[in-house]
């Protein structure tokens, strides 16, 4: 094995709604003999922790967090450009006044890699500061620093986990929809957004199963920008939405491994953390070359060397109700990136019937991922009771992804320019058609929520962000 360095990064969290601490660790080669660096949910605490690990880099570490603070103050400019009327946004962009409104777009033109390299020449520290680019799926040389800073600032405030698991989010949202007079359906796939005779106004949706058309005054699509434009909107209306696709492309493909384990979190020594494990060649922690080199391998040799990036999590260890519902059981999820081209020939094949060659390659990929995981958690080797691998074509089937993408649109430098910010928004050039979800803002639960916020504001023609700020100000401290 010519890969001499393993960088392990872990996110620590209490499995409650509000988590007051966030740890991440960096390790080299042998996990048991590794040096660890912790990122805490507090700027001072995090700076002190990193400086303790890199005592010669104190100035660089403080500079990095200073720039994070500058982006944090400027983020409202990005939000405002998304939320304001499109004609006003276009005017600010065309005249250049948008740059006087906020420094956000200055940092959006600088890549994460370039910004971090301008702060420190220490390759290991560069990897530490950029490690969680996998949370938005774009390598440091291609991602805008403003996006990376938003993520880092987000985690500095602490993290949360929904008690009972992610399904609880939908479970608690549905009653609100019903109370407002709405209805929620499952297995009710839409095949088309129906337009009027002019092709310029949305009037309903067509159901795939029976062709029934459900008419409505307002149509909201949270199916993703590529699905909406290329699959749901009839060809006559697509030119009206072409500007939405000008600045974006699908993100990296994703591979997921789901493992069921025998034993409780205590018995298996599992912690409610996320671990980012980075494998790099000796003397090089360059995340760009690591990931690009892996993705550029042909399928025949793709798995001959370690996968450079793994996200390892134990969801059951985060949930205080898990042991009551599933005594003696635990779960592990491992996620990484994968080249969609490795799997493309099986895209049209029926799920669960893609053939022996597909299953063999997927198994080989899953086995490699698990071997690398066991290098960090060797005591789990004989605890596996369930093992399933999801490929990029799995994502396409179950998530209606494009190119197996994990996070919808790529979070690259083109996506966060002023021009792209104005073009990729909730209101569209088709009357009564609105877009929602993570493509409108950023990926992730918080990003998708903001996408919904912008969409609601567009439909209601109301500043609902201001409404939320007033609601927050009037709320008790426990909710704030």
Task: Give the per-residue pLDDT at 466.
Answer: 84
Kindly report the three-state secondary structure assignment for every residue of the chain.
Answer: CCCCEEEEEEEECCCCCCECCCCCCCCCCCHHHCCCCCCCCCHHHHHHHHHHHCHHHHHHHHHHHHHHHHHHHHHHHHHHHHHCCHHHHHHHHHHCCHHHHCCHHHHHCCEHHHHHHHHCCCHHHHHHHHHHHHHCCCCCCCCEHHHHHHHHHHHHCCECCCCCCCHHHHHHHHHHHHHCCCCCCCCCCEEEEEECCCCCEEEEEEECCCCCEEECCCEEECCCHHHHHHHHCCHHHHHHHHHHHCCCCECCEEEEEEEEEECCHHHHCCCCEEEEEEEECCCCCCHHHHHHHHHCCCHHHCCCCCCCEEEEECHHHCCCCHHHHCCCEEEEEEEEEECHHHCHHHCCCCCCCCCHHHHHHHHHHHHHHHHHHHHHCHHHCCCEEEEEEECHHHHHHHHCCCCCECCCECCCHHHHCHHHHHHCCCECCCECEEECCHHHCCCHHHHHHHHHHHHHHHHHCCCHHHHHHHHHHCCCCCCC
pLDDT at 22: 45
- Parts of the chain with a pLDDT under 70: 1-36, 281-285, 477-480
pLDDT of res. 479 = 56
For position 17, what pLDDT does the model report? 40
Locate CATH 3.50.50 in the chain: 185-249+407-473
Question: What pLDDT was estimated at residue 278?
Answer: 81
For 9-68, what is each residue's pLDDT tens digit? 444 433 344 443 444 444 434 343 455 677 777 889 889 989 998 999 999 999 999 999
Enter the CATH code of domain 185-249+407-473. Answer: 3.50.50
């Amino acid at each position: 094995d010519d890969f001499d360095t393993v960088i392990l990064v872990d996110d620590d969290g209490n499995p409650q709604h509000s988590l007051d601490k966030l740890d991440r660790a960096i390790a080299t080669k042998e996990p048991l003999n590794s040096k660890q660096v912790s990122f805490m949910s507090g700027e001072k605490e995090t700076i002190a922790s990193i400086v303790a690990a890199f005592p010669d880099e104190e100035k660089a570490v403080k500079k990095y967090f200073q720039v994070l603070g500058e982006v944090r103050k400027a983020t409202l400019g990005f939000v405002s450009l998304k939320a304001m009327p499109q004609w006003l946004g276009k005017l600010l962009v065309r005249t250049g006044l948008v740059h006087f409104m906020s420094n956000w777009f200055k940092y959006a033109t600088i890549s994460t890699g370039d910004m971090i390299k301008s702060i420190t020449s220490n390759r290991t520290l560069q990897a530490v500061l950029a490690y969680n680019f996998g949370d938005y799926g774009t390598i440091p040389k291609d991602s805008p620093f403003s996006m990376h800073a938003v993520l880092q600032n987000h985690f500095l405030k602490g993290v949360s986990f929904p008690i009972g698991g992610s399904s609880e989010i939908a479970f608690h949202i549905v009653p609100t929809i019903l109370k407002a007079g709405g209805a929620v359906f499952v297995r009710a796939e839409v095949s088309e957004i129906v337009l009027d005779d002019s092709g310029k106004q949305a009037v309903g949706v067509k159901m795939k199963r029976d062709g029934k058309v459900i008419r409505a005054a307002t149509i909201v699509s949270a199916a993703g920008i590529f699905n909406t434009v290329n699959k749901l909107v009839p060809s006559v209306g697509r030119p009206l939405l072409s500007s939405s696709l000008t600045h974006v492309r699908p993100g990296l493909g994703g591979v997921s491994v789901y493992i069921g384990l025998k034993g409780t979190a205590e018995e298996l020594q599992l912690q409610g953390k996320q671990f980012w494990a980075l494998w790099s060649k000796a003397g090089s922690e360059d995340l760009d070359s690591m990931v690009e080199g892996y993705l550029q391998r042909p399928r025949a040799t793709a798995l001959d060397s370690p996968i450079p990036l793994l996200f390892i999590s134990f969801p059951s260890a985060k949930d205080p109700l898990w042991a009551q519902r599933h005594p003696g059981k635990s779960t592990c999820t491992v996620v990484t990136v994968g080249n969609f081209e490795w799997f493309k020939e099986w895209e049209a094949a029926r799920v669960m019937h893609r053939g022996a060659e597909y299953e063999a390659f997927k198994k080989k990929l899953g086995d490699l991922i698990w071997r690398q995981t066991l290098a960090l958690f060797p005591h789990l080797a004989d605890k596996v009771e369930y093992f399933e691998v999801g490929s990029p074509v799995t994502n396409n089937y179950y998530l209606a992804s494009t190119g197996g993408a994990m996070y919808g649109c790529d979070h690259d430098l083109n996506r966060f320019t002023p021009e792209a910010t104005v073009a990729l928004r909730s209101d569209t050039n088709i009357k009564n058609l609105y877009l929602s979800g993570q493509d409108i803002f950023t990926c992730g639960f918080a990003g998708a929520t903001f996408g919904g916020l912008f969409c609601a504001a567009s439909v209601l023609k109301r500043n609902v962000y201001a409404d939320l700020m007033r609601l927050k100000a009037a709320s008790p401290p426990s909710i704030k």
